[in-house]
Amino acid sequence: MTVIVQKYGGTSVGTPERMRAVAGRIVASKLAGARVVAVVSAMGDVTDDLLGMAAKIDPEPPEREMDMLLATGEQVSIALLAMAIHALGHEAISFTGPQVGIVTDHGHTKAKIMEVRADRVSEALDDGRIVIVAGFQGMTPDGQITTLGRGGSDTTAVAVAAGIGADVCEIYTDVDGVYTADPRVARDARKIDVISYEEMLELAAAGAGVLNLRSVEFARNHGVTIHCRSSFTDVPGTIVKEADSSMEQAIISGVAHDTSEAKVTIRDVPDRPGVAASVFTRMAEANVNVDMIIQNVSEAGMTDISFTTPKADLVRARRAADAAVAELGAREWTVDDSIAKVSLVGAGMKTHPGVAAQMFRALSDADVNIDLISTSTIRITCVVEGAQVEAAVRALHDSFGLSDAEVTVESVPACGGGE
C-alpha cells in the first residue's frame, strides 16, 4: 500500500474554506488507496502575528517561551484539520510534534531534529486512520518544547516521511512547483520538472524559500523523494531526488534571492593574526549565524571585516560586535540592513567557463552594483543593494534565457504567504 506524507503550508490552510479543501484532498488520497499522514503549518500569518505580539512584550524574549508561544499556531491547525476530515465522514487523529516523537536538540527557535520515534503514527495508520501532525515543532529528550526555525514544517514532513518509510513526501504550497526564479519576482519563470538534491540545496540555501533548506538536507540524507506542488490545482509539480543520468543537465537551473540578511562591518581592526578568530568566536558564542565574510586590504596596519548574518540574529550580533570592538581596540561597528543577495545556481557551472563573467556583465548592464561575491562549485552569489534585487533577479533570468512558459502563481492576498 502506498504511504504518502502530505505537507500543507500556511496559505493552503489559511481559512476555514481552505482547510475544508485540504481535508477533501487528503480524503481523496485515502480513497485512492493510500495511507496518508498530513503535516500542517499554522494558518495564514499566525506565526508572524505571534512573533509580533511577543515583540510588543519583550524585544528579546526568552527563547524557551518563544517556542512555547510559536508551537500553538500549528496546534490550532491540526485540530481544525482533523475536525474537517471528521466532517467529511472519515477517521482522523491529530498529534503535536512531541506526541509523535519528534526529538530535537536544545537549540530553541532553530532546533534540529535528532530522531523521529514514529511508532504512534504507524499504529494510527494501522488502525485505518488519517494522521495529522503539527509541523515546525518537537521536544528535547528532557521534555522541552522546541521549534525548528521558519519554514520548519517542511522539515517535519520529510522527517516523518523518513521515519515511516513513506513512498513520497508531497509539499503542497501556493505555487505549483520549484521555478527557475521566484515567480512573484520573475513572472516569466519556468517550472522545473525534476531537480537534484544538490541543486535544490543550493537554491534553498540561496533564499528560494519554496522548500526549507533543512528539509532538503534531510531528504538527501535519508533518500526521501519530495514532490513540491500546488494545493490549489492538480498539475504535477517538481520532483526533488538524487541526480541520475535521465536528468537534463542544465548549465543554470535557477536564480534565487534573499532579503533576510544584513551586513555587519567592524572598522579599523588592527591587522594581526588572531583578529578574525576573535571576532567570529564572539559571534559563535552569541549564537549568531555568519554567512559571507570579507576582509578588506590592510591600510596602515588597519583593516575592515564585514560579514552577512540573518536579520533575526542582529540583536545578538550587535552585542557581540560591541564586545569584539572593545577587545580588539577597533574603531566601531556598523550595520547595513538594506542589502540583499542574488545567486545563480547550476550544476553545469563546474564545466562551463564564463558563467561568472556573464553574471557580472548582466548585473552591470542593469546598473546593479556588486558589493560582495562568494561562490561554491555550483553557485555564485552577489550582495547587492536591497532595492535593486528584483531587477537583478530579472536581469540574470533574462541573460541566461531561463524563461519559457506562463507561470501559475496563486495570489491569496487575504492570508498572505504564511511565513
Q: Which residues bind ligand ASP (CB under 6 A)?
A: 9-10, 41-42, 47, 73, 135-136, 150-154, 418-419
Binding mask 197-236 for Mg ion (x = CB under 5 A): ----------------------------------------
Among the listed residues 343, 349, 342, the one whose alpha carbon sits nearest the alpha carbon of residue 377: 349
In 3-state terms, the chain is what percent helix, strand and coil (to 5)? 35, 25, 35
Residue from 188, 268, 398, 419 touching ligand ADP (CB under 6 A): that is 419
Taking each helix axis from N to C end, the angle separating 197-205 and 213-222, rounded to the nearest 10 degrees, works out to 160
Among the listed residues 334, 327, 331, 339, the one whose alpha carbon sits nearest the alpha carbon of residue 285: 327
Say which amino acid occupies 204: A
Q: Which three cell numbers stand for residue 354?
A: 564564463
Specify the residue, 153 or 238, whose C-beta has the smaller distance to ligand ASP. Answer: 153
Minimum distance of Mg ion from residue 151's CB (angstroms): 4
Report the C-alpha gap between 351 and 354 in whole angstroms.
Answer: 10
Specify the residue, 156 or 180, whose C-beta has the smaller distance to Mg ion. Answer: 156
Minimum distance of Mg ion from residue 40's CB (angstroms): 12
Burial of 296 (0-12, 13-18, 19+ CB in 10 A): middle
Specify the residue, 152 or 163, whose C-beta has the smaller distance to ligand ASP. Answer: 152
Minimum distance of Mg ion from residue 312's CB (angstroms): 16
Specify the residue, 42 or 344, whose C-beta has the smaller distance to ligand ASP. Answer: 42
Report the C-alpha gap between 397 and 392 in whole angstroms.
Answer: 8
Report the C-alpha gap between 226 and 357 in whole angstroms.
Answer: 34
Q: Are 173 and 27 in contact (CB under 8 A)?
A: no
Q: Are 92 and 85 in contact (CB under 8 A)?
A: yes
44 interacts with, out of Mg ion, ligand ADP, ligand ASP, none, CB within 5 to 8 A per kind: none
Sheet containing 379-385, strands listed edge to edge, beginning at the edge strand earlier in sequence: 254-258, 339-345, 379-385, 372-376
Q: Are 398 and 390 in contact (CB under 8 A)?
A: no
Applying CB under 6 A, the span of 91-99, 174-182, 303-311, 391-399 interacting with ligand ADP comes to 174-182
Minimum distance of ligand ASP from residue 40's CB (angstroms): 9
Q: What is the dihedral sign for C-alpha 236, 241, 245, 250?
A: positive
Q: Are 381 and 291 in contact (CB under 8 A)?
A: no
Residue whose entry in the numeric block shows the C-alpha cell 515546525 = 136
11 interacts with, out of ligand ASP, Mg ion, ligand ADP, none, CB within 5 to 8 A per kind: ligand ADP
253 interacts with, out of Mg ion, ligand ASP, ligand ADP, none, CB within 5 to 8 A per kind: none
47 interacts with, out of ligand ADP, Mg ion, ligand ASP, none, CB within 5 to 8 A per kind: ligand ASP
Report the C-alpha gap between 9 and 92 in whole angstroms.
Answer: 19
Report the C-alpha gap between 217 and 158 in whole angstroms.
Answer: 10
Among the listed residues 158, 230, 235, 222, the one whose alpha carbon sits nearest the alpha carbon of residue 8: 230
Specify the residue, 136 or 179, whose C-beta has the smaller distance to ligand ASP. Answer: 136
Binding mask 196-225 for ligand ADP (x = CB under 6 A): ------------xxx---------------
179 interacts with, out of ligand ASP, Mg ion, ligand ADP, none, CB within 5 to 8 A per kind: ligand ADP
Applying CB under 6 A, the span of 7-15, 63-71, 241-249, 392-400 interacting with ligand ADP comes to 7-15
Specify the residue, 5 or 208, whose C-beta has the smaller distance to ligand ADP. Answer: 208
136 interacts with, out of Mg ion, ligand ADP, ligand ASP, none, CB within 5 to 8 A per kind: ligand ASP
Q: Which three cell numbers stand for residue 115?
A: 530522531
Asked if 10 interacts with ligand ADP (CB under 6 A), we say: yes
Minimum distance of ligand ASP from residue 386's CB (angstroms): 22
For residue 233, the 8-state DSSP code is -
Minimum distance of Mg ion from residue 209's CB (angstroms): 6
Asked if 151 interacts with Mg ion (CB under 5 A), we say: yes
Residue from 179, 197, 218, 400 touching ligand ADP (CB under 6 A): that is 179
Binding site for Mg ion (CB under 5 A): 9, 151
Binding site for ligand ADP (CB under 6 A): 9-12, 41, 151, 173-175, 178-179, 181-184, 208-210, 254, 417-419
